[in-house]
Each structure stands twice: as structure tokens, then as C-alpha cells.
Chain A
């Protein structure tokens, strides 16, 4: 693994960094026939135009985090929830892509539940590495694991879209990246068997399922096998968190997207000595935190992904 990375699939680090500059502004883009088309920078109003299925992604709340990068992570989660409550189009449900808590403490899970439940929406979770600090993943599974397999993976259907929640934060190997493991991959293969290739698929997991920046561990060791099972489907959208910034990549019919955190930003790949929490000016923080709005229009094989920062650049609180 090198840091000057071009993973051979046509995405250079420079390209990723170009995508990065969109962070915090809000980008609407659509997928039709596997071809992505950026619709440019948009305002919140676009969410209201959407028909069909709309759901939200939130990620990396890190409830309990109190370091200089954001001394009040619970407060910014509350702000994100306030924003969700104010949406003109009520989403069908929320997907939380992990790191609900910072240290897997019961009190942190309690606080997160107390705030997130105010949205009055169903929430589909997958754990981040911060949610499984107890070896046997009991704290997470006791709360969110009902009806899931293994460390918490599962699938469900909504409006003709098949959703798959994967866990890639347990049983990590020395020197490696995120890990799905054989048991989960076999389950995934079985879960997809018999499904029509025209079924839109949304996969969500904490650590990116594509090689964002292996030098910082931003990738998943055995994701290639999962993507191999998915390649026959016409529309696959992969939603991840973990890296606390927006990044996108399209590979064939698969669109990858990472969401902002609601707690603190992290640096662009290689832009700092380490991926640790990034301290930014107080008036800039909320432009780097936010939620993601995803819309699927039936019959159009089209998912629109809109990232909504807590505060747009230049806007005052």
C-alpha cells in the first residue's frame, strides 16, 4: 500500500482531492444507467422536489467526544437532529453509518438515543469501531442488534430498493484495513442470490468499502469480494462514514459516497500527519459537519445524494 495511491481503478489522489473541495457546499448528483451526472451545487430546496423514497444518512456522532476539535459533540448532533426535524420532505427513515458513541459507554449510547429519537424516524444502524470497544460487541448488539446476524449485519427492503447493512469494524487484523470476514461475505452472497439485477441496491457500512487512503486505514481489506457479488446489479450505492468528510467515486454501476460527521472533521488524505480530529476555526466547524439526504425515484434507477452541512460557508449562526 502506498500513500501516493492510484488504486488502478482510475481514481488518482488528485481527483479525490478535487472531490474534497465540494465538502460542505452540498452537491446533488444523479445516477442514470450507471452514469453519474453532477447536478452542481444546490440548495436545501432540492430535497423537496424529490418524489419516491427519501432517506437520510447520518454518521460519526461520536457522542462523548469533548476534545478541542469539538468540545460538544452532543450539541452538534442535536443541531443535526434539529435540521432533520425541519426538512420539508419527511424522510422514510435514517441510516446511521456508525461511531454513534466515542467510547461505547452506556451513557453515551443513552444520550445518542435520546437525541436521535427526537426525529421520530426509524433508524437503521451499523457499528463503527468506537461502538464496539467491548470485545464481544454486547453493548451495541443489545441495543441495535435485534434481527441481525453476526456482529450486526442485516438487510431490508423499502420501496423496491434492497438495503444491506454491513459490519467492517470487528476482528481487524494487524497491519490491515476494515474487515468483513468470510462469514459475513457468505451471508452477503446468499442474501443477493435470486434477486433481479434491476433491483437497486444500497449498501451501508462504517469504514469505506473502497480504497480511499490505505496509509490511514481508510479502506476495507476484503471489500473486493463483496463488490464482486454486487457487480451484476444495475444500480449499487455504497454509503460509508468513518473519514468525516465527503468523498465520492463511481466505478461501473457502483457509486461510493462518504458522509460528513456530526461531531468533528478529519483532514483530507495526506494533508496532515495523521487522520486525527481536525481543529478548525469555531465559525467554520458547522460547515464541515452535517447530514446526507438520499432520494430514489421509482422507475428511474436514480439516486440523488445531497450533503447538507449544519451551516453553509459564510452563513452566520
Chain B
């Protein structure tokens, strides 16, 4: 009897854990990647749903930064293969640039969107 309770408990815990994992996954919108290469952000303009995490990856031989024009976010200098991410929770248009090479600019457009719909 005691053993049965133990098994049931373990199962229940496992099911709960799985459920928690599923709910975490469903709350997450797929990440979006922006490559930094040849002194440019690609794609230069990205449209995402609110809640999306954008990940910038520096594929260039030169360090770059990702700096919001409104100072909402700013990465440290990203050396080759370094990454930076930021989660956009509020709809709007976000302009950013490389603070070392300011001719490099990009835009993230964040649209309203139920994350559950993803």
C-alpha cells in the first residue's frame, strides 16, 4: 500500500512537472535571430509578436553593439560569435544601431498578438 502511494506520488509529480514545462513552452513565442555580418543587421527590419525574444549574433570579424535609439537596451561590445538578446513585451517600433559604426541601423516592429495564439 505504502509503495503504491509512493508510485502515485512520483507519477503525480512527474505529470505536474510535465504540465509546467508545457505551459512554459506555450507562453514562449519562438525566438527571432538577427545576424550581424558585413557591417549590417540582417534582416534589417523584423516584425515580431509581443513577447518575442530577439537574439543578435555577431558573425563579423569586427566587434559591434546593438543599441536602442531610445536607450531601451544596449549590448556590450559583441566580439565575433557573441550574442545579445532582448525580449520585446510592448507593441511598437524600435529603432536600433551599432554605437561603434552608427551607419549600421535596424528596426524591430513589435505587433500586438496573443502569445497563446502561437
CB of B53 to closest CB in A, whole Å: 22
Interface residues in B68-104 by Cβ distance below 8 A to A read 69, 76-77, 79-80, 95-97, 99-104
B105 an interface residue at 8 Å Cβ cutoff?
A: yes
Please classify how large the interface on chain B is, using the bins under 10, 10 to 19, 20 to 34, 35 or more.
20 to 34
Are A104 and B103 in touch, CB under 8 angstroms?
A: no
What chain A residues lie within 8 Å of B76 (beta carbons)? Answer: 133
Q: Given A175-B103, A175-B105, A216-B39, decide whether A276 and B62 contact each other with a Cβ distance below 8 A.
A: yes
Task: Please determine whether B102 and A177 come into contact, CB atoms closer than 8 angstroms.
Answer: yes
Q: How far is the CA of A149 from the CA of B99 in the complex (A)?
A: 22
By the criterion CB–CB under 8 Å, are B102 and A276 in contact? Answer: no
Most chain B CB within a 10 A radius of its CB, from A67, A174, A175, A276: A174
A133 to chain B, nearest CB (A): 4
A62 to chain B, nearest CB (A): 9
Q: Does A259 contact B (CB under 8 A)?
A: no
CB of A214 closer than 8 Å to a CB of B:
yes
Set of chain A residues within 8 Å of B102, measured between Cβ atoms: 172-177, 217
A273 to chain B, nearest CB (A): 5
Closest to B99 in A: A172
The reply to whether B61 and A103 contact each other, CB–CB distance below 8 Å, is: no
Chain A residues near B63: list those with CB within 8 A: 102-103, 130, 133
Find A174's partner among B60, B62, B69, B77 (CB 8 Å cutoff): B69
* A275-B39 contact given A133-B76, A174-B95, A175-B105, CB 8 Å threshold: yes
A168 to chain B, nearest CB (A): 12
Q: Residue A274 contacts which of B39, B79, B95 (CB distance < 8 angstroms)? A: B39
Q: How far is the CB of A240 from chain B (nearest CB, A)?
A: 16
Q: How far is the CB of B95 from chain A (nearest CB, A)?
A: 6
A-B contact count, CB below 8 Å?
57
A215 at the interface (CB under 8 A from B): yes
Q: A172-B99, A175-B97, A276-B38 are in contact. Are A104 and B77 (CB under 8 A)?
A: yes
Q: Max chain A CB contacts within 10 Å: which of B38, B77, B79, B95?
A: B77
Q: A214 — nearest CB in chain B belongs to which residue?
A: B103
The distance from the CB of A211 to the nearest CB of chain B, in whole angstroms, is 12
Indicate if the CB atoms of B77 and A103 lie closer than 8 Å: yes
Select one of B61, B96, B97 contacting A276, CB under 8 A: B61
Chain B residues 13 to 72 lying within 8 A of chain A, measured CB to CB, are 38-40, 60-63, 67, 69
State how many angstroms separate the Cβ of A191 from the closest Cβ of chain B: 26
Q: Is the CB of A67 within 8 A of B80?
A: yes
Which of B38, B99, B103 is most buried by chain A, counting CB atoms within 10 A of its CB?
Answer: B103
Query: Which of the listed residues A67, A129, A216 has the most CB atoms from chain B within 10 Å of its own CB?
Result: A129
By beta carbon, the residue of chain B nearest A68 is B61
Q: Nearest Cβ in chain A — how far from B101, in angstroms?
A: 5
Whole-angstrom distance between the alpha carbons of A67 and B38 in the complex? 14
Q: How far is the CA of A85 from the CA of B23 in the complex (A)?
A: 68
What are 20 residue pairs bridging A and B, where the CB atoms are less than 8 Å apart in the complex?
Answer: A102-B63, A103-B77, A129-B101, A130-B63, A130-B100, A133-B63, A133-B100, A172-B99, A172-B100, A174-B69, A175-B105, A176-B102, A215-B103, A216-B39, A217-B104, A274-B60, A275-B39, A276-B38, A277-B61, A277-B62
User: 18 extra interchain contacts, Cβ-Cβ under 8 A, other than A175-B105, A274-B38, A276-B61?
Assistant: A68-B61, A102-B63, A130-B63, A130-B100, A172-B99, A172-B100, A174-B96, A175-B97, A175-B103, A176-B103, A217-B101, A217-B103, A273-B38, A275-B39, A276-B38, A276-B60, A277-B61, A277-B62
